[in-house]
């Protein structure tokens, strides 16, 4: 019985292993959120691979570039226009243009963050911060963030890096400057409070003056009305007195006109007791009484 030759078996195993290695070397897997860059003997191919499984030549190399939105948080020491030291915490959300991943890799490499991104962010923050005084930085924080973002977009666009969003998370000054600002704010608040109190006092004084004028006008009007009322009462009383006098005079006149001489003599005689007075002065009424007395005799 002939012996089994081991050479063909080894060759078959070698062929299987070789095929497996070739398949492994030819298989390209690009993870989700990445863009594949193909390199052939150090030369970057002018094409990219999307996420998924791809075939490539065994001698080609696959470089996966992260195209997801990434967040960078940088703490930078800057100076304001008035040479005040400012510590700025700046946050940037960014991502690469996946269609330009091969250009980024060929010109910058995978370390584009350290090479171009971080230096440009630092420069933009420092340049724009230096345009404001330290005091204005506090009140112009949103405006400053917008200017930095616009400058970053302009500086990073040639590198095919997109700025998704930015924000200034923190802004700290030296203790001396902070104390000076707080003292100024306290002084401003005290001044404002004093102005408010003075304005309130002035308003109260003006209101009191108006009330005094109103009270004076009211008192004057009351006095005028009272004077007019008293004048009317006096006139009414005078008219009443005059009317009473006229009435009494008319009554007396009527009585005097009614009491004629004969009527008076008649009443006088009606009340006479028949005795003549011992002393008398001549008058018509006495003569009448004498005549009457003689008649009785």
Residue 183 belongs to what H/E stretch?
Answer: helix 175-258
Q: Taking a C-beta distance cutoff of 8 angstroms, is the pair 159, 116 a contact?
A: yes
Burial 219-258 (b: 16+ CB within 10 A, else e): eeeeeeeeeeeeeeeeeeeeeeeeeeeeeeeeeeeeeeee
Prediction pTM value: 0.56
DSSP at 220? H
CA 139 to CA 259: how far, in whole Å?
Answer: 113
3-state class (DSSP) for residue 278: coil
DSSP E strand stretches across 100-233: 161-173
Q: What is the pLDDT, as a whole number, of residue 296? A: 45
Tokens of 76: 């930078």
DSSP at 279? S
Burial 191-201 (b: 16+ CB within 10 A, else e): eeeeeeeeeee
The per-residue pLDDT string of the chain (297 residues; one tens digit each, 9 = 90 and over) reads 445 555 578 777 778 777 766 677 778 889 999 999 999 998 999 888 898 888 888 888 899 999 999 999 999 999 999 888 899 999 999 999 999 999 999 999 999 999 999 999 999 999 999 999 888 888 888 899 999 999 999 999 999 999 999 999 988 887 777 666 656 665 667 777 778 888 888 888 888 888 888 888 888 888 888 888 888 878 887 777 777 777 777 776 766 666 566 666 666 666 666 665 555 555 454 455 444 444 444
DSSP at 5? P
What's the sign of the alpha-carbon dihedral 180, 183, 185, 187? negative
Task: Tell me, letter by letter, the H, E, C secondary structure of 45-64.
Answer: EEEEECCEEEECCCCEEEEE
CA 99 to CA 103: how far, in whole Å?
Answer: 9
Among 89, 85, 86, residue whose Cα is nearest residue 75: 89
Q: What is the pLDDT, as a whole number, of residue 239? A: 73
């Amino acid at each position: 019985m002939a012996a089994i030759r081991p050479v063909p078996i080894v060759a078959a195993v070698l062929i299987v292993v070789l095929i497996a290695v070739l398949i492994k070397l030819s298989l390209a897997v690009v993870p989700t959120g990445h863009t594949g860059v193909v390199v052939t003997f150090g030369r970057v191919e002018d094409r990219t691979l999307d996420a998924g499984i791809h075939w490539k030549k065994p001698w080609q190399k696959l470089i996966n570039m992260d195209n997801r939105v990434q967040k960078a948080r940088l703490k930078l020491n800057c100076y304001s226009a008035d040479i005040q030291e400012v510590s700025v915490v700046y946050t940037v959300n960014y991502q690469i243009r996946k269609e330009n991943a091969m250009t980024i890799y060929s010109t910058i490499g995978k370390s584009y963050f350290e090479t171009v991104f971080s230096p440009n962010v630092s420069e933009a923050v420092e340049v724009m911060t230096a345009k404001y005084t330290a005091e204005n930085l506090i009140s112009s924080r949103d405006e400053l963030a917008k200017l930095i973002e616009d400058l970053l977009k302009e500086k990073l666009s040639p590198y095919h890096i997109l700025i998704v969003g930015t924000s200034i998370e923190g802004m700290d000054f030296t203790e001396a400057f902070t104390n000076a600002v707080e003292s100024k704010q306290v002084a401003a608040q005290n001044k404002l409070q004093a102005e408010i109190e003075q304005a309130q006092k002035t308003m109260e004084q003006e209101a009191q003056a108006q009330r005094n004028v109103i009270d004076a006008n009211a008192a004057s009007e009351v006095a005028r009305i009272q004077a007019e009322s008293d004048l009317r009462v006096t006139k009414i009383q005078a008219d009443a007195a005059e009317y009473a006098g006229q009435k009494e005079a008319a009554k007396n006149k009527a009585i005097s006109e009614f009491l004629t001489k004969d009527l008076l003599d008649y009443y006088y005689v009606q009340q006479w007791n028949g005795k003549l007075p011992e002393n008398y002065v001549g008058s018509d009424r006495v003569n009448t009484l004498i005549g009457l007395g003689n008649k009785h005799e």
